[in-house]
């Protein structure tokens, strides 16, 4: 997504990356983000560079009494940059801040799971031109199993990327003519999923993807990075469009 310069071309970033990786990083990744142990060395190093920049440049906040630590930023950023594995152009420069919460988040109604009378209880949410809010326990849980198909950081970051064209409507900025031509495949798969749900048919994708085009995009993004082989098996065309969008084939670093 061509919204900024390639990340290495910025003097301040170069300076940051020229300093040794702070000691906290390796043990934190080892303990909390097992995905990193599976990655090929060159990709792993590149993602750590991006995560360091994200930790340094974004605004981070602990909300509702959560005491924010450096370790928390590392765990969130390390996962967030996985979505940028194939693209050195954008590094969340348009994301104002990341807020972490000790438990759940009170979110706008009808947006995420777990309705209550006046608000929705969510593990995360993302706002157009706004912050990403995440439940810290949910972040940890997502990171602990990199192949269960669910990841709240991937999900909310996907919403953010979706909104980069000015609207969180299920279609992120499409950089190439080929992608623009192929995007109707995604819309058709979304329509088919809703039909399957309406007719009570079992779906391989999480039924939550049928809530809206934007949730479809976020849920498929989770599946694309966490269970790429399975997504490709069940929805090969969808997989192929997402591989073109994210410019990466996560099957290559899925070491299960
Ligand atoms: Zn969502």
What mean pLDDT comes out for the span 11-18? 92
Q: How far apart are CA 244 and CA 210, in angstroms?
A: 22
What's the pLDDT score for residue 7? Answer: 60
Q: How far apart are CA 47 and CA 14, in angstroms?
A: 15
Q: Which residues surround ligand 1, an ion (CB under 5 A)?
A: 215, 218
Q: How far apart are CA 169 and CA 113, in angstroms?
A: 19
Q: Find the helix or strand (DSSP H, E) in which 160 lies.
A: helix 152-162
What mean pLDDT comes out for the span 10-21? 92
The answer, yes or no, to whether residue 256 has pLDDT greater than 90, is: no
What mean pLDDT comes out for the span 123-152? 94
pTM for this entry = 0.93
CA of 157 to the centre of ligand 1 (A): 9
The answer, yes or no, to whether residue 4 has pLDDT greater than 80, is: no
CA of 109 to the centre of ligand 1 (A): 12
Domain boundaries, given as residue ranges, for the chain: 7-148, 177-253
3-state helix, strand, coil in the chain (%, to 5): 55, 10, 35
The answer, yes or no, to whether residue 3 has pLDDT greater than 50, is: no
Predicted confidence band of residue 108 (pLDDT cuts 50, 70, 90): low
The answer, yes or no, to whether residue 201 has pLDDT greater than 50, is: yes
CA of 198 to the centre of ligand 1 (A): 20
What's the pLDDT score for residue 9? Answer: 66
CATH top-level class for 7-148? mainly alpha
Query: Nearest-CA neighbor of 231 among 214, 246, 219, 248?
Result: 219
Report the topology of domain 177-253: Collagenase (Catalytic Domain) (3.40.390)
Torsions phi, psi for 98 (to 5 deg):
-115, 125
Helix (H/G/I), strand (E/B), else coil: 19: coil
């Amino acid at each position: 997504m061509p919204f900024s310069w390639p990340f290495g071309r910025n003097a301040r970033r170069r300076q940051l990356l020229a300093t040794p990786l702070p000691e906290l990083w390796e043990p934190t990744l080892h303990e909390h983000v097992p995905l990193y142990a599976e990655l090929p060395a060159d990709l792993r190093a590149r993602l750590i560079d991006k995560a360091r920049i994200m930790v340094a440049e974004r605004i981070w906040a602990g909300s509702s009494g959560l005491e924010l630590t450096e370790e928390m930023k590392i765990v969130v950023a390390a996962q967030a940059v996985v979505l940028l594995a194939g693209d050195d152009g954008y590094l969340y420069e348009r994301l104002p801040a990341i807020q972490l919460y000790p438990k759940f988040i009170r979110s706008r109604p009808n947006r995420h799971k777990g309705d209550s009378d006046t608000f929705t209880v969510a593990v995360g949410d993302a706002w157009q031109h706004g912050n990403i809010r995440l439940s810290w326990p949910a972040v940890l849980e997502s990171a602990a199993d990199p192949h269960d198909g669910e990841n709240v950081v991937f999900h909310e970051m996907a919403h953010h990327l979706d909104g980069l064209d000015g609207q969180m409507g299920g279609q992120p900025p499409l950089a190439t003519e080929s992608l623009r031509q192929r995007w109707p495949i995604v819309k058709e798969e979304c329509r088919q999923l809703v039909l399957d749900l309406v007719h009570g048919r079992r779906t391989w994708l999480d039924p939550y993807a049928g809530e809206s085009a934007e949730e479809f995009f976020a849920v498929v993004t989770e599946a694309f990075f966490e269970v790429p082989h399975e997504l490709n098996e069940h929805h090969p065309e969808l997989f192929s469009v997402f591989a073109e969008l994210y410019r990466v084939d996560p099957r290559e670093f899925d070491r299960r």
